[in-house]
Structure 1
């Protein structure tokens, strides 16, 4: 049994690191559940950590008719740290003899047993338990339920879980140790984006109004949705830290998360195509990219809601995570195609229209934009994930800070490159550079 349970636990833990984990007060209902292991939550405890668990209406049923009563000691809740989990998985692989490793994960020396069903009062069916457990050693632990019964015995129960740290004043902090600075981080970046938006509005509506295009107004909308998303993210995290519940902030949070995602990819695609800067319309293939990305963002937002509002305790949670990652990967690839098409189009145009200097500057700008987009996507999808997995549980907020900082830098670079100015690189080119530009384009064509 241990050999089948440990890989499942390891998969749960890896996927849990991809999604932001927050400890809320959760009331869950399980009906005829036969899973050998269920992950409830991953939480970073300090020296004053506590786990509260309340079980009611516990019942156990066997799929085998007239089967003897199942041993209640084979069902229970336990905590395990990341380090102990890795060590347990390693030992199970290094010991091929099944007798050298316990048949039930509850018997493993690496787990911290909270209780098993022997302690239910009254015994199942109809059993209940209400207990509080103190975490003596600060670390990041995952709370699991294990079902080691043979023949896939099914468990039904209502579970209320609370995981929190105690502050110096005795109040509860429902955010993990590594997540505690996150509300302050979101507040700081909210203020930064509000200032950014104010500067952008001044540039587009006042200083360079005649040079502003439709894309610049859409970019202002992107900044607005980003700022509002951070506002509700900060509020959501703040109330979770105080009370364990988001107090209804989830609805606007997910709304602006969806709008931010759609506008983000739309702006990159439209800038990449040169819409309203180089041309007033989109080609058919560019419209198709938008028609693919926007519905995918709708599905991604649905997956995000499911992931955020439920948890690894539902059966399809890992699948929803995989759907979200797949859609995000597709969207990241899709936004690169319009930029590549624009670069190719500029190369072809430079051979026929006799405006070498202007085309060279456009080509250089789009190449720089392509590199900036690639760098941003690489950092936020790979480096940030690496920070989440390798950083100590006390410093999980570093990945949030890094992601938001790089995002802000990307916005600033993109907005600067395509800002509205009277002497924009698209429209005003020094004619004296024409010969040098023609020579550069010829040399590039020769190298290709």
Structure 2
């Protein structure tokens, strides 16, 4: 087994996949030595049903053996053993490993080049379903239909053991955001004279987040009970796209002080928006490809890398307007004679900067770490942590920039003005 195949094993096993549903796909003239189809958390009632048809394979070498082409399950616990076995065995074929759960090879195909079989998985664990091609220089074509599920009594549960709680989890957060929106409407209504355009945009953001969550709940529910999302995945991606664009836009606009400190955007701030919004479009396209296809397509890893790169660029880009606002406030505070008010604004935007950076760090780094290290039965914990962090972020930001008639940041007396002037003279804050 060559180094590229070893790297393939390591990368795909650690990826937190959520592709557990009924899938039908077609593979055409594929020479990859390993194809990952699903990664699923099984209970003691787990089952795998595989149907393949229209099978054909060609090779530049004479008479490739059908026993070198087949399907198997592999747990993460057995991965290192298989890799060690591969390094120690010349001409190693993973289908012959004693550490895999072997399913079948093309030797079992019927006369019509098709095969259909259901396999129980009595040992609870997280397994990955692979197709292995150990025949050198062999191209494989086939149609593959997979159904992977756990039995809950007599009912099939098509969500992995660690994700079966997600429909309830997403619905609970949907209720929380509906309540959040009602409170936001109440606050805006009772402070009509202090409302800015940014507050209306923030209200739209809450609604888009709530709609995204209810669609996620319905999507996971239908996958759980039927194996297919019944169109809810389309609505989920639509509202995820709108919510993603709005979130980054609101952060940038608040960071620039638009509507809150000034009614206009400078050219450099407009350029940030013109960069971030198209990148969010591309990021959502990558998200759809990742979510609706799977690692069995050849470019799946590339789309993952594209999504990760774009997300990093967007996260970095939205920090710049906040830094610009902090620097502008610090410079202005020394010249306009309103030291206390500017110090209050400066404090506010410093807090905003810290919260945004903390939110981005937690949802990009900590959540990914939870997905990677958590036991397969507790994969839902990472989703819960991400939604809790998002809700806390929304609540804190909306509270900081809420419309109020007597904002504590702008009700200043003479003593506070003098104290603030002294503070600003000694302020050496640098980002």
The answer to whether the superposition gives a TM-score over 0.5 is yes
Q: Whole-Å Cα distance in 2 between the matches of residues 3 and 282 of structure 1? A: 52
1:302-321 to 2 correspondence within 5 Å? 302-321=285-304
Partner in structure 1 of residue 269 of structure 2:
286
Partner in structure 1 of residue 125 of structure 2:
139
Partner in structure 2 of residue 26 of structure 1:
23
Measured after TM superposition, the shift of residue 88 of structure 1 is 2.6
2:7 paired with 1:7: yes
**Deviates further, 376-385 or 78-87:** 78-87
**Conserved 8 A contact 1:31-1:155:** yes
State the SS of the aligned residue for 1:383. Answer: helix
Partner in structure 1 of residue 71 of structure 2:
77
* Off by >6 Å, runs of 4+ in structure 1: none
2:150 paired with 1:165: yes
2:180 paired with 1:183: no
Q: Whole-Å Cα distance in 2 between the matches of residues 3 and 296 of structure 1? A: 34
**Conserved 8 A contact 1:213-1:277:** yes
State the SS of the aligned residue for 1:268. Answer: helix
Which residue of the other structure, out of 94, 97, 114, is the alignment partner of 1:108?
97
**Conserved 8 A contact 1:2-1:104:** no
**Cα distance change on mapping 1:111 and 1:221 into 2, 3 Å:** same
Measured after TM superposition, the shift of residue 347 of structure 1 is 0.8
Matched residues, number: 431
**Conserved 8 A contact 2:36-2:129:** yes
Which residue of the other structure, out of 37, 42, 56, is the alignment partner of 1:40?
37
2:321 paired with 1:338: yes
**Conserved 8 A contact 2:344-2:410:** no
Q: Whole-Å Cα distance in 2 between the matches of residues 26 and 288 of structure 1? A: 42
Which residue of the other structure, out of 137, 141, 147, is the alignment partner of 1:156?
141
State the SS of the aligned residue for 2:262. Answer: coil
What TM-score results when the alignment is normalised by the length of structure 1?
A: 0.94
Q: Whole-Å Cα distance in 2 between the matches of residues 302 and 25 of structure 1? A: 22
Partner in structure 2 of residue 121 of structure 1:
110
Q: Whole-Å Cα distance in 1 between the matches of residues 304 and 132 of structure 2? A: 22
State the SS of the aligned residue for 1:60. Answer: strand
**Conserved 8 A contact 1:278-1:426:** no
Q: Whole-Å Cα distance in 2 between the matches of residues 194 and 327 of structure 1? A: 30
Measured after TM superposition, the shift of residue 130 of structure 1 is 0.4
Measured after TM superposition, the shift of residue 446 of structure 1 is 9.2
Q: Whole-Å Cα distance in 1 between the matches of residues 138 and 362 of structure 2? A: 45
Q: Whole-Å Cα distance in 1 between the matches of residues 264 and 289 of structure 2? A: 37
State the SS of the aligned residue for 2:114. Answer: strand
Q: Deviations over 1:48-72 (max 9, x none)?
A: 000000011111101x2xx421100
**Conserved 8 A contact 2:82-2:94:** no
**Conserved 8 A contact 1:78-1:112:** yes
Q: Deviations over 1:357-385 (max 9, x none)?
A: 01111111100110001111111000101
Q: Deviations over 1:105-137 (max 9, x none)?
A: 111222111011111112xxx411100000021
Q: Whole-Å Cα distance in 2 between the matches of residues 295 and 355 of structure 1? A: 39
Measured after TM superposition, the shift of residue 13 of structure 1 is 2.3
Q: Whole-Å Cα distance in 2 between the matches of residues 136 and 230 of structure 1? A: 34
State the SS of the aligned residue for 1:127. Answer: coil
Q: Whole-Å Cα distance in 1 between the matches of residues 414 and 160 of structure 2? A: 61
**Conserved 8 A contact 1:34-1:154:** yes
Q: Whole-Å Cα distance in 2 between the matches of residues 447 and 144 of structure 1? A: 52
What TM-score results when the alignment is normalised by the length of structure 2?
A: 0.97
2:205 paired with 1:222: yes
State the SS of the aligned residue for 2:230. Answer: coil
Q: Whole-Å Cα distance in 2 between the matches of residues 6 and 52 of structure 1? A: 27
**Cα distance change on mapping 1:60 and 1:200 into 2, 3 Å:** same
Measured after TM superposition, the shift of residue 4 of structure 1 is 4.5
2:48 paired with 1:51: yes
**Conserved 8 A contact 1:277-1:426:** no
Q: Whole-Å Cα distance in 2 between the matches of residues 57 and 88 of structure 1? A: 30
Partner in structure 2 of residue 415 of structure 1:
398
Q: Deviations over 1:166-194 (max 9, x none)?
A: 011x0100000000001100000000000
Measured after TM superposition, the shift of residue 426 of structure 1 is 4.9
**Cα distance change on mapping 1:90 and 1:404 into 2, 3 Å:** farther
Unmatched tracts of structure 2, length 5 or more: none
Over the aligned positions, Cα root-mean-square deviation in angstroms equals 1.5
